[in-house]
Amino acid sequence: MELPTLQHFDGLKHNKNWANEDFIPEHIFGYQIFGSTIIDDGKKVYEINEGTYFFSNRNSLAKGTKKFSPTEGYSSICICLSQKFLKTFSMTCLPADGQVPGKDMVIVFPETPLLTNYFQSLTPYINRSEEDFKDLIDAKLREATLILLKLHPEMRTRLFDFGNPEKIDLKSYMESNFRFNLSVERFSYLTGRSLSSFKKDFEEQFHDTPGKWLVRRRLKEAYMLIKRNVMRPSEVYLKVGFENLSHFSHAFKKVYGVSPSGIVERVSGP
DNA sequence: ATTTGCCGCAGGGGATGGTA
DNA sequence: TACCATCCCCTGCGGCAAAT
């Protein structure tokens, strides 16, 4: 089982090979053809099963896990409805009054002929160059947006909210989201601050720099999970936000003076 | 399966000056 | 005064190979 994430891209993509990325910057509308995708946003776990149509909100943090079908492997079609596209769309097709959007990052839609036929109609455009099919792909994106609005009018508020994240409480946000592997600059954006204001506020509240705090917090979490035999080092490093097992091993030993697999019998606590 | 050693370079940290 | 952009130095992240 590989660890995937939602890649960001413009237009249309036949998704067979997901890269590891914890941040989803744009709205994604998709169809899971084979296999399934487990998405954990830290608050809720969503299971996108074979044959499922789904929508995923922009500016989301999530860890994804790809599960292969024994016979067919894994594949999905994803459409990225970017802010650039939606702003252009909203100028030509005025959104009506919206309703209050739901809090869930992922919405799963029941199958309807409209969705089935739409995703079947994408087949000729999959993995084609944007230049050759630009107009047709753009028409398909507009069609996708209209279908979403037709089936779920409450989507207007989500799709046409072009605002940036508001300034929010650093302590609770970082404590909830340190497991996601994001750059400090991304954390600053998501907490509604410039990079320099983020560093300043962080120092005031944590008496530490963001990078150092993140590593220590992730290692502390890893320590607890390994110590309690919840996970092995090869599983835990991804869970707590490291990308690389060898680097995780180095960082762990630097802080605790012992390698990850050595703490179960040898050390009493951090 | 996990740790260790090594390397290149992206990006974090800190300082500084600009702007509203 | 608060907030932001930018610059430069250098740390440490991620990748790879080899050892354990």
Please state the three-class secondary structure of A245-257 as a single string: HHHHHHHHHHHHC
The candidate with the shortest Cα–Cα distance to A44, out of A22, A25, A61, A67, is A61
Domain boundary pick from A118, A135, A159: A159
**What percentage of chain A has pLDDT greater than the value 90?**
10
Contact A82/A107 with Cβ under 8 angstroms? no
**Per this entry, what is the length of chain A?**
270
DSSP letter (8 states) at residue A125: G
Domain boundary pick from A130, A159, A188: A159
| Alpha carbon of residue A162 to chain centroid | 18
**Which residues, at least 6 apart from A269, have a Cβ–Cβ distance to it below 8 Å?**
A227
pLDDT band at A114 (very low <50, low <70, confident <90, very high): very high
Residues A145 and A75 in one domain: yes
CA A35, CA A48: separation in Å to the nearest integer?
A: 9
φ, ψ for residue A98, nearest 5 deg: -95, 165
Kindly report the number of other CB atoms within 10 A of residue A96's CB atom. 8
Residues A104 and A36 in one domain: yes
Assessment of whether the complete model's pTM goes beyond 0.75 = yes
Domain interval for residue A11: 6-159
CA to C1' distance (Å), from A197 to B18 = 15
Instruction: Please give the nucleotide, over all strands, whose C1' is closest to the CA of residue A237.
Output: B2
Q: Is A164 inside a domain boundary? A: no
Q: Is A91 inside a domain boundary? A: yes
The candidate with the shortest Cα–Cα distance to A162, out of A77, A79, A91, is A91
Return the nearest residue to C5, CA–C1': A196
- Domains identified in chain A, total number: 2
Residues A99 and A200 in one domain: no
CA A203, CA A210: separation in Å to the nearest integer?
A: 8
Residue A57 to residues A52, A103, A108, A159: CA-CA distances in angstroms? Answer: 16, 10, 12, 9
As a whole number, mean pLDDT of residues A244-262 equals 86
Kindly report the number of other CB atoms within 10 A of residue A113's CB atom. 7
pLDDT band at A5 (very low <50, low <70, confident <90, very high): very low
Residues A14 and A134 in one domain: yes
Residue A259 to residues A141, A220, A226: CA-CA distances in angstroms? Answer: 50, 13, 11
Residues A250 and A175 in one domain: yes
CA A32, CA A30: separation in Å to the nearest integer?
A: 7
pLDDT in tens, A83-103: 888 888 887 765 545 444 567
pLDDT at site A243: 83
For strand C, which residues in window 125-144 of chain A come within 7 Å by CB? none
Residues A132 and A232 in one domain: no
Q: Is A165 inside a domain boundary? A: no
Look at residue A7 and tell me whether its pLDDT is greater than 70.
Answer: no
The pairing of beta strand A63-67 with beta strand A36-40? antiparallel
Footprint of strand B on the protein (CB under 7 A): A 183-185, 196, 199, 203, 209-212, 232-234, 245-246, 249-250, 253, 259-262
- Cβ of residue A164 near strand C, that is under 7 Å? no
Domain boundary pick from A103, A132, A159: A159
Residue A65 to residues A19, A36, A59, A136, A204: CA-CA distances in angstroms? Answer: 11, 8, 19, 32, 36
